[in-house]
Structure 1
Amino acid sequence: MKNGTATAVSDTICPDYAHPNNGTMSDRTFARTRYPIFAACLCLAVCACTSGTAAPTSDMTGPDLADRLCVNSHMPVDDCDASRARRVVEMDWLSDAGIRCVRLDFRWWRIEPAPEQFNFADYDRVIDELSARGVTTIALVSAAPDWARPGGDSTIDPAIFGRLMRVLGQHFAGRIQLWELWNEPNWIFWEPEPDLHAYARLAVSGATALREVSASAIILSAGMLSLADLLRGEAVWQSVDTTLTAAPALAGLLNGIALHPYTWLQTWRPERSEGPERPSIAEMFDAAATVTANHHVGHLPLYDTETGWSTHLVGETDKARYLVRAALIALASGAARFTAFNLSGADPAESVPAAAETGYGLLRWDPDPLDSDIPAPEPAGIAFARLARLLQQCWLIHDSAWTWIPRGDGLFSVTCRSADRLVRFLWTSEPERTVTVAVPTPSGFAPVSATTLVSVTPANVIARQALVGDDPLILEYRSR
């Protein structure tokens, strides 16, 4: 029973795979997609799939899929006892989970409390602690000090921001490669209201200065919030289009476009779609690819630097399922990174509105970090860590017989492999629906396990068929 509904529809389906470029993407968009996403036509009929299936191939080059997972963190950077204790818990969890990337707030007011008076001690310590655990950093630079905001708003001299980025690039050379220039300037983080022309000027100055001192820096635009565009009645990523139009030179300075593809009101499941006004996550990646192609920068990778759901809005179980499914969709859609928001729950006393903001954590809020009682991770944290471990030394399979992402509800499949291992994820997005799916064993491989991702429930695979629901089914195989 779910939401008062006791019935579950069970269908037997055989995917009739459509051509990847079946009208959902322009030819240019499909050509730029590094890891194409595949639509499937679901035929509700008795399954007559081929019982013997050739093992799918992958080029197995570049970062593995686990390397493309990231977690946003607001971890404290000061050196007081409570802050150190919180960092240890968060960093230990990252290390144990196999998460190799964290997006960290680099608060300008803390780094440069007075003009040209720089304090790097806090961030030096934290970056060294993360590096010792094998964790790289996306440095999110934002939160200007009052002295840089003489009008009390976001009217900031671009030259001053450029000076900051030059100093940061020099100081952290060799330790930080990924830089994100501001946070959601199309939303409340640009005061008194969004001004993307002003942001574009700021970003050009910052990116130019950073590039002058660090040729190897990976510079990302600010992560734009999907909901901000949609709530204004605009097309999703109109903010990205406006920014690139306002400053054409910016595109040539960037190495990637950051996105925050939150679903409608941060409550919808990642696959749900009601057209351009309420797009699914896959459709949001399509839309971003179209925007960059229209600006002749379709080669720039797309970085998801925030996506998440609040326990208080969707519940612990759905939060976990939505998060891992969103990660798989983003990776299959070509995201250079998928960043879960947020590592730790927030202090209710400091959150506005507390009911929603405290609920995004993979780890529960610890009211007393100095005692020995460490709260257990939320189901979303456990599931995301399990996903990261499964994706280690695993590369995406592009073959549309193994990986396909519908634009809306349906059956989803994402498959990856290494030299001697193959992992397949299958799920249906509709919570009251299960489907029986043919799961032929690839040639040269032997089945190892079949479990659900979030609940870790063993699954029965009978006569090469499996029951699939909204908790992704994991099928693991090893080479014979």
Structure 2
Amino acid sequence: MHWQRVLTCLGLMALPAAAQLPPLRLPEGVGVNIHFVTGHEADLDRLAAAGFKFVRMDFTWEAIERRRGEYDWSGYDALTANLERRGLRALYILDYSHRLYEDAVQTTNPITGRPETNVASPRKPESVEAFARWAAAAAARYAGRGVVWEIWNEPNIFFWRPHPNVDDYVRLARTTLQAMRQADPRATVVAPAVSGFDPPFMERFLASGLLAQLDGVSVHPYRHRRPPETAEPEYRRLREQIERHAPSERRGRIPIVSSEWGYSTDGQDVSLETQAAYLARQQLFNLWMGVPLSIWYDWKNDGPDPHEREHNFGTVYPDLTPKPAYHAVQTLTRELAGYAIAERLPMERSQDWVLVLTNQTGETKLAAWTLEPPWAVTLVVEGPQPPDGWRLVEGTGQTRRLEPDQNRLRLELEAMPRYISLGRGRVRR
């Protein structure tokens, strides 16, 4: 059975409106990480012009609660307003700990391996309650503004200090969820934003009963050099875990959210061209897997060193000069705006992807690529042909017309997706 049909059976093709997660339609769920709060309006202009619709950003506890019980929302008020002016929605990460409530602990820097001192993650009853009060106040303040809230970031690795502890994280998430639901019953909340898929951590988390209150389960499917499509078995396993632990009335109605996932162009991970192809394919593959919201990491390179991995995940350079990835996402969001995936065509080679997308007016487009070396396939298209032939748009944005050969479409597949407009034509299966 095709995965898209599985999703239909599970009820994931039409998410509950109350959850305020985007539908499985481009470009509503195309998002990107940023690393700023105030200013940077040129970044936001360029980001919106690329077709991104969501921005993910840390919503930092210590930056807001300067004194116990006193909250300064001014920075995030400005960011939220700046996003709204550009038609962007926020995914805010409720993080991290707070020295006013927790103790200093010894940890190890994950990059240098050197010992350092940090604040423990919320584990004392007082700090857990304080975190939940702050999160509830945030939910109330931004109620009705389309914010998706995420509880913490990667608690299964070094972001949970001094060491990952699923039971401590579940305690924080449960207390926070209860407080947020009281403050805004319609708040959209996802968790746990794990690094990778981490089945053992997820098993404990999903068995905790929190699926009764969560709107989505968030993961970070990083795989470095491996292409996006290799995440399919892991998505399937996570879907099975969710369905096994979900309350009966919510089975088939809890989506997976890909809230952070990217590839670095540091020379060790992927090339500029491969990063661009993977960005477009990640978005399309996630939609095919029933993932309504996909956050690319990240918006721009975080530093000038071309060989430092953490400096090179962006779609643009620090001066906002576009990388090929920028043009790839801009082409994707422009060419497929208003389209949803109807099916994946069965192909001779399993590594070839030809997705059929349709819009509400009955028009059809194809998104096609391959994980193998480039080669050509031939498809039979039934129905009326557009007067000037089929239109093909390269992933980089260049457009050309394809001359019809009767009703046969010869299509060259390569790593970067290509988009073909068939008008009201249909591919014969």
* Partner residue of 2:201 out of 236, 239, 248: 239
2:165 counterpart of 1:195: yes
Task: Map 1:323-338; keep pairs closer than 5 Å.
Answer: 323-338=279-294
Q: 1:413 to 1:295 in 2, by over 3 A?
A: same
Equivalent of 2:57 in 93, 98, 104: 104
Mapped pair 1:267 → 2:208? no
| Native 8 Å contact 1:262 1:308 kept in 2 | yes
Match of residue 177 from structure 1:
147
What TM-score results when the alignment is normalised by the length of structure 1? 0.75
> CA 1:405 to 1:194, structure 2 compared with 1: closer, same or farther past 3 Å?
farther
Structure 2 residue 14 is the aligned partner of structure 1 residue 69: no
Answer whether contact 2:122 2:172 (CA < 8 A) is retained: no
Deviations 1:186-209 (A, max 9, x none): 111101211111001100111111
Q: 1:29 to 1:471 in 2, by over 3 A?
A: closer
Q: Where does 1:61-210 land on structure 2 (aligned, <5 Å)?
A: 62=23, 64-74=25-35, 76-78=36-38, 84=39, 87-151=40-104, 152-156=119-123, 157-210=127-180
SS at match of 1:476: strand
Q: Which residue of 1 aligns with 2:232?
A: 282
Mapped contact 2:303–2:312 kept (Cα < 8 A): no
Distance in 1 of aligned mates of 2:122 and 2:193: 19
1:388 deviation in Å? 1.2
Aligned to 1:20: 2
Deviation at 1:35, TM superposition (A): 5.2
Q: For residues 72 and 469 of structure 1, what CA distance do their matches in structure 2 show?
A: 28
- Match of 1:257, SS state, is strand
Letter aligned with residue 59 of structure 2: F
Quote how far apart the aligned CAs of 1:348 are: 4.6
TM-score of the superposition, structure 2-length normalised?
A: 0.83
Which has a greater percent of strand?
2
Instruction: Look up the SS of the partner of 1:223 in the other structure.
Output: strand
Distance 2:412 2:194 in 1: 38
Q: Which of 318, 326, 329 is 1:365 aligned to?
A: 318
1:386 paired residue among 327, 331, 338: 331
In structure 1, which of residues 307, 315, 333 is the aligned counterpart of residue 271 of structure 2? 315
Establish whether residue 416 from structure 1 lines up as the match of residue 374 from structure 2: no
AA at the equivalent of 1:453: G
CA–CA distance in 2 between the matches of 1:441 and 1:138?
Answer: 40
Q: Which residue of 1 aligns with 2:396?
A: 454
Shift of the 455–390 alpha-carbon distance from structure 1 to 2, 3 Å rule, reads closer
Q: Which amino acid aligns with 2:94?
A: V
Please report how far the alpha carbon of residue 435 of structure 1 lies from its aligned counterpart in structure 2 after TM superposition. Answer: 2.7
Provide the rounded CA distance (Å) in 1 between the counterparts of 2:336 and 2:165: 40
Q: Is the 8 A contact 1:345 1:358 kept in 2?
A: yes
1:439 aligns with one of 360, 363, 379: 379
Match for residue 302 of structure 1 among 235, 256, 264: 256
SS at match of 2:57: strand
The separation in 1 between residues aligned to 2:215 and 2:347, in whole angstroms, is 26
Deviation at 1:29, TM superposition (A): 8.1
**What amino acid does structure 1 have at the position aligned with 2:157?**
W
Aligned to 1:218: 188
* Aligned match for 1:474, one of 409, 419, 427: 419
For residues 359 and 99 of structure 1, what CA distance do their matches in structure 2 show? 19
CA RMSD, aligned part only?
2.8
Shift of 1:334: 0.4
Q: Is the 8 A contact 2:24 2:291 kept in 1?
A: no
* DSSP 3-state at the match of 2:376: strand
Q: Distance in 1 between matches of 2:160 and 2:45?
A: 34
Of 253-262 and 452-461, deviating more is: 452-461
| Amino acid corresponding to residue 28 of structure 2 in structure 1 | D
- The structure 2 residue matched to 1:255, chosen from 199, 202, 215, is 215
Tell me the SS of whatever aligns to 1:294.
Answer: helix
Structure 1 pair 345–405 and aligned structure 2 pair: CA distance change class (3 A)? farther
Identify if the C-alpha distance between structure 1 residues 454 and 284 changes in structure 2 by more than 3 Å, giving closer, same or farther. Answer: farther
Q: 2:368 aligns with which of 426, 437, 459?
A: 426
User: How big is the shift at 1:260?
Assistant: 0.8
How much has 1:457 moved relative to structure 2?
A: 6.9
Q: How has the CA–CA distance of structure 1 residues 461 and 376 changed in structure 2, closer, same or farther, with 3 Å as cutoff?
A: farther
Contact (CA 8 Å) 2:7, 2:290: kept in 1 or not? no
Report if the CA contact (8 A) 2:227-2:278 is conserved. yes
CA contact 1:450–1:460 (8 Å) conserved in 2: yes
Which amino acid in structure 2 is aligned with residue 218 of structure 1?
A: T
Q: Percent identity?
A: 23
Give, in angstroms, the shift of residue 216 of structure 1. Answer: 1.3
Secondary structure of residue in 1 paired with 2:222: coil
Q: Unaligned 5+ residue runs, structure 2?
A: 15-21, 105-118
**Counterpart residue type for residue 32 of structure 1:** L
Q: Is the 8 A contact 1:77 1:123 kept in 2?
A: yes
> Residue 443 of structure 1: CA displacement?
1.7
Q: Aligned pair in 2 of structure 1 residues 218, 405: CA closer, same or farther (>3 Å)? A: farther
Q: Provide the secondary structure at the position in 1 that maps to 2:381.
A: coil
Aligned to 2:108: none
Quote the offset at 1:225 in angstroms. 1.1
How big is the shift at 1:454?
3.4
Indicate how the Cα distance of structure 1 residues 397 and 169 shifts in structure 2: closer, same or farther if over 3 A, else same.
same
- C-alpha deviation, 1:28, in angstroms: 8.4
Contact 1:449 1:475 in 2 (8 A): yes
The gaps in structure 1 that reach 5 residues or longer are 1-18, 37-60, 79-83, 230-236, 272-279, 367-374
User: Given the superposition, is the C-alpha separation of residues 291 and 216 from structure 1 closer, same or farther in structure 2, using an over 3 Å criterion?
Assistant: same
* Equivalent position SS for 1:361: coil
Residues 101 and 390 of structure 1, relative CA distance in 2, 3 Å threshold: same
